[in-house]
Amino acid sequence: MEKTSLDEMRERLNRLEAEMTAELDELIERKREQFRYTIQAGRVRFDAGVRALHRSQRKGVIAYIRSAPISYVLTAPITYALVVPLLFLDLSMTTFQHICFRVYGIKLVRRRDYVTFDRQLLGYLNVIQKINCVYCSYGNGLIAYAREIASRTEQFWCPIKHARRTADPHGRVEDFFDYGDADAYRAGLASIRVKLLD
């Protein structure tokens, strides 16, 4: 099969993504040195002096609430009400993959690769800010976790590109079959499923 310019661009993009990942890892390491923290046994550890500085910069809860615009305070219950559908999504997606992925032989998605709780450990955040950070970490991580489960399901059952380009497609789409290419779909469905096997 002849390589297209799109294939070449994808290869360049993959190389750039690998370079970007390496650069981000280096940047994180430099930031650890700059802000004087390490990760030991999965826990973030700041130097004692940094911990003291963080505590001194914490804004008290009362001052924090008083300085917040009233519209933020009034919309907080609406924001936090989303925790109910988020928990339902988490339960649904986790149950789905533990049943169906095991039947199909698809490798399970690990929630901890997507949902990370660490910002609430920062000493310069008050209790409300820490709760906000836990909520945002959970919500955004959960959506990424659910998207990965959905993308693996799509790759298994329906690995066909759409007729029109969609906004922000997941990374598996580039390996999908072209819209309308029935021969490739019939010939290659088994091989694309093999990539998902545990």
Tens of pLDDT, residue by residue, the chain (198 residues): 577 887 888 889 889 989 999 999 999 899 989 998 988 888 888 989 999 999 999 999 999 999 999 999 999 999 999 999 999 999 999 999 999 999 999 999 999 999 999 999 899 999 999 999 999 999 999 999 999 999 999 999 999 999 998 999 998 998 899 999 999 999 999 999 998 986
How many CB atoms within 10 Å of residue 193?
16
| 51: in domain | no
| pLDDT, position 40 | 87
| 90: in domain | yes
Tokens of 55: 């505590």
CA dihedral (93, 154, 188, 110) positive or negative: negative
| pLDDT, position 9 | 87
| pLDDT, position 76 | 95
| pLDDT, position 1 | 59
| 111: in domain | yes
| 109: in domain | yes
| 81: in domain | yes
| 143: in domain | yes
| pLDDT, position 41 | 86
| pLDDT, position 11 | 87
- Which residues make beta-bridge pairs with 97? none
| pLDDT, position 100 | 97
Rounded to whole angstroms, the Cα distance separating 83 from 61 reads 22
| pLDDT, position 177 | 94
| pLDDT, position 198 | 61
104: phi then psi, degrees, rounded to nearest 5 = -80, -15
Domain count, the chain: 1
CA dihedral (124, 128, 130, 133) positive or negative: negative
- Residue length of the chain: 198
- Residue range of the domain that includes 93: 69-194
Q: C-alpha 141: how far from its chain's center? A: 5
Residue 197 DSSP one-character state: B
Rounded to whole angstroms, the Cα distance separating 14 from 8 reads 10
| 179: in domain | yes
| 41: in domain | no
